[in-house]
Structure 1
Amino acid sequence: MFYLRWTKPIAEPSHLPSGLSRTFVDTEDGKLELIVAEPPSSYIGPRKRPIFFQHGGMGQAGVWIEWMTYLSQRHNIPCYALSLRGHGLSWYPSFISMVYLTTKRALANDLVKGIKYVEQKEKAEVVLVGHSSGGGLSQVILDAGDVNVAGLVLTASIPCYGSLGVYMNWWKMDPWFSLRMWRHFLHPNSPLSSTGLVKRAFFCDAKPDSEVDAFAQKMSYYESFLWPLGMMLGRLVDVRNVVKRISGWESRGCSLMVLAAEKDRLMSIKQMKGAAEHYRGGLMDLIRTKKLDSVESGDPEGDVSGVRFRVVAGAGHHLQNDIQWHEGACEVVGFYEQL
């Protein structure tokens, strides 16, 4: 299949599994799609803290459906997933406006709107889970002090120190990347313009091509260039600012998890481990300078310094949609339950 498209999609709401529904968040620019997963009606315990999921580049709220269904139906956790502008069923800018004029900050503002909507609805801080460039946005809004969260999971995320190495990995994986971009008139989806390219970038080798194609058909029609460029050069965030916007450090062993995928060709295990180490260093610096109360000694899972690092064996970059999605969901549950 070939996935380059130049015009806005015709909105066609897809069927959602039982227990999931779709609503929209109003913004000054347009409506943003929000998929909601409620615990089963048979659940009679106290309302649990919500998890808020943010997709990455080319994605949409629906990439989280497997995890949301599992977490809500098996663990009674209310879940929310947002589609940024130009993704999913959210409002769509024109090709020129999205590709060349939509900044990282504009997309971050969408994320802030979605989180504040859920905070008001749930009367609680969310546990924020961000994937890839959505993990980058998650760090950006915390660094800027836009919101506070009860926990942060960076899932195959853009590292806190910037994404130049990520795109070097992409070039090594696909040496024809640049030439193909020119052949495709600099269309931002050029690196993901066929089933084979999507599979190589996002999934493990065992993922069936039919499932890769079904995933690719739901990718955004075109993507902002300024989003990845705004995360590429230099440090993305000050990790100390991000840490300070995560509540509860003084009462628990771990408030941040970096979740990596073993077969990720973009965000390598080395890069993800480096991000975890950066956050551990930032947390320890805040404690040492008495800008943050001390955390309990150690993580019950054996990690140190309040930051958990985990690897999902066998999974590719889109670990929440790969064959091993359940293992990744279990890691999120384990992190959530110790908050």
Structure 2
Amino acid sequence: MAALSTTTLLTNRTRMTLVPRAVLENKTQVSYELKKSQSRLFHELPSGLKMEVIFQKGRIDIDEKSQNPPLVFVHGSFHAAWCWAEHFLPFFSQNGYDCYALSLLGQGESDAPSGAVAGSLQTHASDIADFIQKQINFPPVLLGHSFGGLIVQYYIANIGNEKFLEKEGLYPYLAGALLVCSVPPSGNSGIVWRYLFSKPVAAFKITRSLAAKAFQTSLPLCKETFFSTEMENQVVLRYQKLMTESSRMPLFDLRKLNASLPAPPVKDSSIKVLVLGAQDDFIVDGKGLEETGTFYGVSPICIEGVAHDIMLDCSWEKGAQVILSWLNHLKR
């Protein structure tokens, strides 16, 4: 069969390649089918590797009097751009926001670097910065989930950092940052130790689910780890397959990651930060949420009736509405 032609999406600054799904090399065996008005793009990094981006343009008739900041979504471990494309991209685009969901290297349809792991806090943040600098015309809001939240924390800590700029280049300014069920600035070790002493059964389940990747083969464990009990099994099964195929290599070397923590403080106090958590989060506990809020000097918001994967859970609208309210207030 003849190869389909490749079209190119032009922006004011550079190019991103839009590739029909039929010509994609099988980076994942379980494909994510895009929703109406969504496009799959590939941003070429300075390394030559390409990063998957799922894009959905915001409705322009929502708020013609003001320019909404673009939204850039960063996933955590075992996820990719698709986890935002399922519900959040349609929701926020309908409310007038241009949405870009990234797949970090080695995840989803993105290229995989050489080596055993996908990268580090520094390399992932640098890739995000390169995308924002070259593809987005206005300061965006950066949203990170779980370990993606830790990457966002590293990003905002290095905006305006002269030492960093000399080594790796510019981190573009942001309109704001959202940390969604984020790993706290000290990492996940404190959470693990608390669970070992206060919830040993939960600690065993989390270790088995995530470290041993048992969530990939156990539907009940996958559901307990990421979702609410009300989620239908057939929906969980679909997400389980996508998560299994999304993470072709570990996002980090956890030993090196923990050695580099805690995350440095934010130097620019003008950056607005929202810390959002879930009451039924099986991974990030309440103290972890409080730690993140205290670190950034904000009161965290904890949503009832939602689990760790806020953006995929059956009550995802609860988190989306809180974020939308914060975004609308941000523009004032």
TMscore range, shorter length = 0.7 to 0.9
Instruction: Provide the residue aligned with 1:85 in structure 2.
Output: 105
List runs of 5+ in structure 1 lacking aligned partners.
1-7, 248-254, 281-306
**Superposition pairs for residues 198-277 of structure 1, below 5 Å?**
198-219=222-243, 220-224=246-250, 226-232=252-258, 235-241=261-267, 244=268, 246-247=270-271, 255-277=272-294
SS at match of 2:242: coil
Following TM superposition, by how much is the alpha carbon of 1:84 offset from its aligned partner in structure 2, in angstroms? 0.5
SS at match of 1:239: coil
Task: Determine whether 1:60 maps to 2:80.
Answer: yes
Instruction: Provide the residue aligned with 1:105 in structure 2.
Output: 122
Distance 2:82 2:236 in 1: 14
- Match for residue 204 of structure 2 among 158, 175, 187: 175
1:67/1:90 CA distance change after superposition, 3 Å: same
List runs of 5+ in structure 2 lacking aligned partners.
1-25, 160-170
Maintained 8 Å contact 1:52/1:80: yes
Following TM superposition, by how much is the alpha carbon of 1:212 offset from its aligned partner in structure 2, in angstroms? 1.1
Instruction: Provide the residue aligned with 2:155 in structure 1.
Output: 141
1:51/1:177 CA distance change after superposition, 3 Å: closer
Following TM superposition, by how much is the alpha carbon of 1:11 offset from its aligned partner in structure 2, in angstroms? 6.5
Q: Deviations over 1:143-202 (max 9, x none)?
A: 233332111110000112322123346764252666x69xxxx98634544222221111
Maintained 8 Å contact 2:61/2:96: no
Distance 1:189 1:114 in 2: 30
Instruction: Provide the residue aligned with 1:156 in structure 2.
Output: 181
Question: What amino acid maps onto 2:258 in structure 1?
Answer: M
Following TM superposition, by how much is the alpha carbon of 1:114 offset from its aligned partner in structure 2, in angstroms? 2.5
Following TM superposition, by how much is the alpha carbon of 1:233 offset from its aligned partner in structure 2, in angstroms? 5.1
Task: Determine whether 1:194 maps to 2:214.
Answer: no
Q: Deviations over 1:108-159 (max 9, x none)?
A: 222222222333xxx2111111000000001112223333211111000011
Instruction: Provide the residue aligned with 2:39 in structure 1.
Output: 21
Task: Determine whether 1:34 maps to 2:53.
Answer: yes
Distance 2:221 2:31 in 1: 26
Distance 1:104 1:189 in 2: 22
Instruction: Provide the residue aligned with 1:131 in structure 2.
Output: 145
1:160/1:322 CA distance change after superposition, 3 Å: same
Maintained 8 Å contact 2:74/2:102: yes
Maintained 8 Å contact 1:72/1:79: yes
SS at match of 1:232: helix
Task: State the superposition RMSD in angstroms.
Answer: 2.7
Identity of aligned residues (%): 24
Question: What amino acid maps onto 2:187 in structure 1?
Answer: G
Distance 2:217 2:231 in 1: 17
Distance 2:281 2:226 in 1: 7
1:257/1:102 CA distance change after superposition, 3 Å: closer
Higher relative contact order (CA 8 A, sep 6+): 1
Maintained 8 Å contact 2:63/2:96: no
Instruction: Provide the residue aligned with 2:303 in structure 1.
Output: 312
SS at match of 2:282: coil
Instruction: Provide the residue aligned with 1:295 in structure 2.
Output: none
Instruction: Provide the residue aligned with 1:69 in structure 2.
Output: 90
TM-score by length of 2: 0.77
TM-score by length of 1: 0.75
